[in-house]
Every structure is written in structure tokens, then in C-alpha cells.
């Protein structure tokens, strides 16, 4: 019965509802925090090793000892739990680590009587750290102020736990400890090449909160460094050196230039957001010229990852800050419409930010998509359809323009229209709709990793019996200021061509309407529009457009893998515990 109870408890933890967590804008939590692990336990103690575990190898060729691997511990301090006496209570726990009777161990107990988890060895600093965790506020600036002192602690476990706490904290909490931040220490960490990209993102986000204008030159030097200007000269020097019979040391110089550039651009999304937060709207001129304009240097375009990071920073500023006016952010975002690799990614943002000035431009892009030398990829059509559908839900002239555009382009590629609405119904491309409470003058703070994650249910979808299309990443999204969780992931839901083809295969659209069925044709099989053989207009307004395809059952998609996982966990549990029977 005890094992069954523990199994059911674990099952409830796996399958029970969880609250949505808003991560810091550019950080993604890498593992559970100590506070979270203690929260799942019925007891927790600081204990000392009193008896080493016997090895399974001690049995030789004889029968295995069922107690092999179990070490004896004596409780030294009780963090919480009933029926435990410091200095007296002893118990066995599975422990395969190095035996150290001088060290302290954190051990959690679950169930009644307690099943003790594998001990976690603690340093002296970690013992004091763990003892203070339960006395901290559950949330707010007062909580993360405690962890700030451990962000780069000499104990790796404490440094990791402090980072994960910041990664789970709302951005408002980070701003709440502005006066307690050490600006010079943050700058030193940012410029330290040994600091990981995720930590650098956090430190840049914190610098954006507490920094001053004095920090701008250092940030600008990181942003303006450009290996494209140095590599051609280094390559020419290497070629001349090789022709002269000198050693190939110049090749190392080229690689050193690339490594230096990568080091300066680590956490670029947070770097740009930090710079613009301190510099203000005028700083976007530098970002536009360096990353978004498409300008080539020595025949080389800006690195794809750099452009993507700049887009992430724009999203952060649009959703989390009012320092840069929305119309200025939109102006920068529009530059990416000329970039074939990013046009499909920025279109949902323009819809969410209610930029209807490019409606006719997108209609023209839809018609030219896929044509040779057009500079427009064919897969840009799906997000354009979503953009127009969202625009058609607005009031007045915008809705009329969108309805006219939809009627004009529907016959150009009916399969793309069908595919776009399938993706939207399933949750993809859903972030295009403006948030109900978000305007250019009143922005609601959310974690950057979650920007655009809230899915959209358009008017034609609301009549279905399916639940709202809302899918959270486990993933990918301060963003790691890892939001734009899609990435855990936001990350971006715009599919590339291969993604679209795969999704189309598993998400078939509905049958054609009755009129087309009577004519023996389907939307998916309809040929391209021809002026001499026009197709019947599918609709004169958005209200009469083909209904959105029926999405697959979200309940089945979630329940099936969850049930399989629970079954595997149960089998694994019984195998592990069978030795105690």
C-alpha cells in the first residue's frame, strides 16, 4: 500500500495542472530549483554519513545483497518534517557517491513512512544557503535579492540555483532590485569570456535596469564589431604568406577574428535590448544599419543568428518596455520584409502590433511569392493569410481593405489559404492577433520567452467544439531577456517549407464547400488562377470565407504521450522497488 500511495502521489505530480510561469525576458531555467525540489517533499534534513554503503561487487558470485548501495545517515538538522529528532534519528538511503563522513548531505523524504531520496552533498556555504530558503518570500523583489549574491558563487550548485531562480522571476521583480545591483560587477561579468551565454544574457538584462549613459560606449563597441571588415584583409595576408612560403600562422589569425566576434555577440538579443533600454529610440538607427537593413559588407550579409537576435530584442521592447515608441519599433521591423529569410517571421509581429500600413505591400508579396527573381519565398503566403485574417477582424477601413485583399488573392494559391488556416487552428501562426489588453500606449509586461505564445482563435474558429488552441513550450522562452520561449522554446512558430509540408500531411483540411463539391472540384486541387478562366469568388467578405479546417484533437495529442509516459514510469518504478518485496 505504501508503494501504491507513493506511486499515486508521483503520478499526480506528473499529470496535475501546473500554473503558467513567466520567465525573465532573456533567460531560460536550466533545471529545477532547490526550493522546487523541497516543495515536493514531506520532509527534508541535513544529515551526516555514519555507515558506508556496501558495494554490489562485494557479493562476488553469490546472491546480491538487497541492501547493497544503501548507506546509513544520522540527522543533524531538520528543515521540516514530523517525527524526526536531530542527533538521534537514523535511516538508510541509496547513495553511490564518494563516502565522506565529514560532509553534510541534504536528503528529502517522501511519503509516510518516509522514502528517502538520494542524498545531495553540500558545502558549508550550501548548508547555510539551504537553511535560508524556506524563510524567503514566495515571490517578489525581496526573494531574488537574496539570490543575487550567489549568481557567480564559487560553489557551482549555488550559482546554478541562483540563476534558475532569476530565470523564473518576472521581469518586474528584476526591476524591483535596481538599487541593490552592482553595476561595475555586472560589466565585469559581461566582458568575461568565461561567462556562459545564458548568464551573460541575465547580466545584460540586469545592466539594462541599473546601467547609465557611461556604459553606452562599451556596449556600442560590442555591437559595431564586425568580422566582415577584417576577414578579407586577413585572408589576403594569409594568401600572401602562403605564397612566400611562410608558415600557415595567418590562418589562425582568421579564426581568432571569428572567435572574438562570436564572444562579443554572445547573448546578442539581450545586448541589443540593454543598449536600447539605456540609449532610447535613437539607438535603433545603429541596430537598423548593423543588423536589419540588409546592407552587405565586402559582399557578405549580416549573420542569420545576429538578425534573429535583433528581432528578439524588438519583441522584448514591444512587449516589456515603453522606452521605445511602438511606431519606431515597427519601422525597424518592417525592414525585415525585404529579407527573404525573415519576412515570414516578422509578419505575425506586424499583425500583433497592429501595423496595417503594409497590407497592400503584403498582398503584392503574396502574388509574387515563389516567382523567379522576385526575392520572396513561397512559404511567406501562410503568414500573409493570417495577417489578412486578423486585419479583417478590425473595424472600419482596415477590415474593408483586408476583405478585398483576401478576395483578390484567394484564387492565386487556394492550398496556401487552406494550409494557413489549418496551422492557425492548430495553434501555429496564432500569435499574429493583437493581445486584447495590449496597445501602443499600454503594454502588459510578460516574459520575453512567452511573447507571442498566446494563440489566436478567429471568428470562424469559435463555433467549433475544440478547446482554445493554446500550446505552451516546455521549451523553448530572461529570453536565455531563453520568450522568445518558443524559444523552451519561442520560439517562432512560423514553419519553413519542410515544416509546412509535414504539417499539411497530418492536418488535412475540410471538404470543399457545397458549391465546389457540386462542380466536382476541391480547394486543394484547384489550379492557379487564370484571367481567362476565373474561379468563382469564394467570398465577398470575411464572414463568408471557407471555414477553418477542423484541427486534430488536442486532448488526444496531449493525453496519448502523457499516458504512455506514465505507464513507462510505473513499470520502471515497480522494477526498481521489486527488490524490497
Q: Which string of DSSP letters, residue by residue, matches 231-270?
A: HHHHHHHHHHHHHTT--THHHHHHHHHHHHHHHHTTTHHH
In a domain, 264, yes or no: yes
Where does a domain end: 109, 132, 155?
A: 132
Q: Can you give the pLDDT at residue 260?
A: 75
Distance from C-alpha of 542 to C-alpha of 176, rounded to nearest angstrom = 46
Cβ pair 493, 430 in contact under 8 A: yes
**Are 387 and 331 within one domain?**
no
Where does a domain end: 182, 211, 240?
A: 211
**Are 52 and 68 within one domain?**
yes
Q: Can you give the pLDDT at residue 14?
A: 39
| CA of residue 78 relative to chain centroid, distance | 38
Compute CA distances 78 → 93, 99, 135, 204, 353, whole Å: 16, 22, 14, 39, 53
**Are 277 and 293 within one domain?**
yes
| CA of residue 95 relative to chain centroid, distance | 35
Q: Can you give the pLDDT at residue 300?
A: 83
Helices (H), ranges, 335-450:
343-352, 359-368, 381-392, 397-409, 414-426
Where does a domain end: 313, 339, 365?
A: 339
In a domain, 159, yes or no: yes
Contacts of 16 (CB under 8 A, 6+ apart): none
Distance from C-alpha of 78 to C-alpha of 64, rounded to nearest angstrom = 34
**Are 123 and 220 within one domain?**
no
Cβ pair 108, 114 in contact under 8 A: no
Half-sphere exposure of 513 (CA within 13 A, CB side): 12
**Are 400 and 428 within one domain?**
yes
Q: Can you give the pLDDT at residue 25?
A: 67
In a domain, 183, yes or no: yes
**Are 312 and 226 within one domain?**
yes
| Residue of 186, 152, 151 lying closest to 165 (CA atoms) | 151
What range does the domain containing 194 cover? 136-211
First to last CA, the chain: 12
Distance from C-alpha of 18 to C-alpha of 138, rounded to nearest angstrom = 16
Compute CA distances 132 → 128, 244, 355, whole Å: 7, 67, 49
Contacts of 510 (CB under 8 A, 6+ apart): 546, 547, 549, 550
Residue 535 in grid coordinates = 474561379
Q: Which portions of the chain are predicted below pLDDT 70?
A: 1-25, 55-67, 231, 233-235, 237-252, 424-554, 578-581
Q: By CB neighbour count within 10 A (0-12 exposed, 13-18 middle, 19+ buried), where does 316 fall?
A: buried
| Residue of 499, 188, 479 lying closest to 310 (CA atoms) | 479
| Residue of 78, 23, 382 lying closest to 202 (CA atoms) | 23
In a domain, 527, yes or no: no
Q: Would the CA dihedral through 93, 98, 100, 106 be positive or negative?
A: negative
pLDDT in tens, 552-581: 566 777 878 888 888 888 888 778 776 555
**Are 142 and 246 within one domain?**
no
**Are 331 and 360 within one domain?**
no
| Residue of 147, 313, 300, 148 lying closest to 229 (CA atoms) | 300
**Are 171 and 284 within one domain?**
no
Rg (CA), the chain: 29
pLDDT in tens, 187-217: 999 999 889 989 999 999 999 999 999 999 9
**Are 316 and 221 within one domain?**
yes
| Cis amide linkage into residue 113, ω under 30° from 0 | yes
In a domain, 277, yes or no: yes
**Are 184 and 268 within one domain?**
no
Q: Can you give the pLDDT at residue 193?
A: 86
| CA of residue 377 relative to chain centroid, distance | 26
Counting every residue, how long is the chain? 581
Residue 292 DSSP symbol: I
In a domain, 510, yes or no: no
Residue 343 in grid coordinates = 519576412
**Are 322 and 285 within one domain?**
yes
The number of folded domains in the chain is 4
In a domain, 476, yes or no: no
In a domain, 522, yes or no: no
Q: Can you give the pLDDT at residue 295?
A: 87
| CA of residue 469 relative to chain centroid, distance | 18
Amino acid at each position: 500500500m505504501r508503494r501504491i500511495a507513493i506511486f499515486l502521489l508521483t503520478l499526480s505530480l506528473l499529470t496535475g495542472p501546473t500554473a503558467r510561469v513567466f520567465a525573465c525576458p532573456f533567460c531560460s531555467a536550466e533545471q529545477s530549483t532547490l526550493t522546487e525540489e523541497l516543495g515536493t517533499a514531506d520532509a527534508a534534513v541535513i544529515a551526516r554519513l555514519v555507515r558506508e554503503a556496501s558495494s554490489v561487487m562485494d557479493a562476488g558470485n553469490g546472491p546480491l545483497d538487497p541492501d547493497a548501495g544503501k548507506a546509513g545517515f544520522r540527522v543533524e538538522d531538520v528543515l521540516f518534517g514530523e517525527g524526526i529528532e536531530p542527533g538521534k534519528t537514523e535511516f538508510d538511503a541509496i547513495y553511490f557517491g564518494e563516502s565522506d563522513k565529514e560532509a553534510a548531505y541534504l536528503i528529502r523524504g517522501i511519503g509516510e513512512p518516509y522514502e528517502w531520496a538520494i542524498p545531495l552533498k553540500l558545502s558549508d556555504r550550501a548548508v547555510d544557503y539551504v537553511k535560508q530558503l524556506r524563510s524567503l518570500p514566495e515571490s517578489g523583489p525581496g526573494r531574488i535579492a537574496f539570490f543575487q549574491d550567489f549568481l557567480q558563487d564559487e560553489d557551482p550548485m549555488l550559482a546554478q540555483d541562483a540563476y534558475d531562480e532569476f530565470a523564473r522571476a518576472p521581469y518586474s521583480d528584476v526591476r524591483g532590485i535596481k538599487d541593490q545591483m552592482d553595476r561595475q560587477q555586472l560589466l565585469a561579468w559581461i566582458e568575461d569570456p568565461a561567462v556562459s551565454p545564458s548568464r551573460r544574457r541575465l547580466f545584460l538584462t540586469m545592466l539594462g535596469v541599473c546601467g547609465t549613459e557611461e556604459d553606452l560606449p562599451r556596449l556600442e563597441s560590442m555591437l559595431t564589431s564586425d568580422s566582415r571588415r577584417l576577414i578579407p584583409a586577413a585572408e589576403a595576408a594569409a594568401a600572401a604568406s602562403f605564397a612566400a612560403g611562410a608558415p600557415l600562422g595567418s590562418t589562425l589569425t582568421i579564426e581568432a577574428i571569428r572567435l572574438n566576434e562570436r564572444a562579443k555577440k554572445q547573448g546578442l538579443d539581450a545586448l541589443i535590448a540593454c543598449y536600447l533600454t539605456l540609449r532610447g529610440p535613437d539607438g535603433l538607427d545603429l541596430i537598423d544599419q548593423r543588423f536589419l537593413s540588409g546592407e552587405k559588407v565586402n559582399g557578405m550579409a549580416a549573420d542569420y543568428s545576429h538578425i534573429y537576435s535583433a528581432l528578439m530584442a524588438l519583441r522584448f521592447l514591444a512587449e516589456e518596455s515603453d522606452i521605445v515608441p511602438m511606431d519606431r519599433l515597427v519601422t525597424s521591423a518592417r525592414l525585415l520584409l525585404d529579407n527573404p529569410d525573415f519576412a515570414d517571421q516578422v509578419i505575425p509581429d506586424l499583425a500583433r502590433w497592429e501595423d496595417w500600413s503594409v497590407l497592400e505591400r503584403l498582398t503584392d508579396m503574396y502574388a509574387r511569392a515563389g516567382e523567379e527573381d522576385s526575392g520572396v519565398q513561397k512559404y511567406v503566403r501562410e503568414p500573409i493569410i493570417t495577417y489578412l485574417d486578423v486585419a479583417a477582424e478590425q473595424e472600419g477601413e482596415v477590415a474593408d481593405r483586408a476583405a478585398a485583399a483576401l478576395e483578390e488573392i484567394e484564387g492565386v494559391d487556394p492550398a496556401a489559404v487552406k494550409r494557413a488556416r489549418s496551422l492557425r487552428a492548430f495553434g501555429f501562426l496564432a500569435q499574429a492577433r493583437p493581445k486584447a489588453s495590449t496597445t501602443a500606449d499600454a503594454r502588459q509586461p510578460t516574459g520575453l520567452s512567452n511573447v507571442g505564445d498566446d494563440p489566436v482563435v478567429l471568428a470562424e474558429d469559435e463555433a467549433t467544439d475544440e478547446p482554445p488552441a493554446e500550446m505552451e513550450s516546455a521549451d523553448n522562452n530572461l529570453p536565455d531577456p531563453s520568450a522568445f520561449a518558443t524559444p523552451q522554446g519561442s520560439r517562432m512558430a512560423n514553419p519553413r517549407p519542410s515544416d509546412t509540408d509535414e504539417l499539411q500531411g497530418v492536418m488535412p483540411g475540410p471538404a470543399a464547400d457545397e458549391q465546389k463539391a457540386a462542380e466536382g472540384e476541391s480547394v486543394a486541387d484547384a489550379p492557379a488562377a487564370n484571367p481567362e478562366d476565373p474561379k468563382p469568388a469564394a467570398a465577398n467578405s470575411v464572414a463568408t470565407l471557407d471555414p477553418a479546417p477542423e484541427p486534430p484533437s488536442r486532448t488526444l495529442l496531449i493525453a496519448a504521450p502523457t499516458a504512455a509516459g506514465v505507464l513507462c514510469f510505473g513499470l520502471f518504478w515497480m522494477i526498481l522497488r521489486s527488490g524490497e518485496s
